[in-house]
Amino acid sequence: MDFKHFQTLVDNLFSYDDAGLVTRYQDVKPETLNPLVLAYIGDAYFNLYMRGRLLAFEQNKVQILHSFGAKMVSAKYQAVAYKEIEAELTELEQAVFKRGRNAKCNVPKSATVQEYRCSTGFEALLGFLYLKKDFARLTALVDKTFLITAQNLAKK
């Protein structure tokens, strides 16, 4: 997509009529969403969850919270945690993960291709569970991920 097309889409994202803001979609169907959109939602949820959990350990030093928060949500640590919970996933969860992992995206220099793809798949799974409103399963997975990541950080 060229910049002009992108800018047109951005300019027309929100529109109004006499009744107010016009929405384009009535429902969100996670099964049909682009896996990168699922990962976008999963990333936001995971960041907020992990940062919230860190408040049980530190409440005054923002620099420490930021430093640990950034590490805990990094592609590297997500990939490590995913490998430990992978066997516990249902077939549907594994399929959602694979859709996210295999989605075409640009890999940043801060992670290997394998780590980044794995973390994208994991975030897609979290986004899927969040949008399906399966909060019990979502919480179980991120709780376990937090513990795995904290243990790995404590070893360093």
Residues serving a catalytic function are 43
CB atoms within 10 A of CB 105: 13
- Report d(CA 149, CA 43) in Å as an integer: 16
What's the DSSP call for residue 117?
A: H
Single out the residue of 150, 89, 96, 86 nearest to residue 123, CA to CA: 96
Q: Is 60 helix (H, G, I), strand (E, B) or coil?
A: coil
How would you classify the pairing of strands 15-17 and 20-22? antiparallel
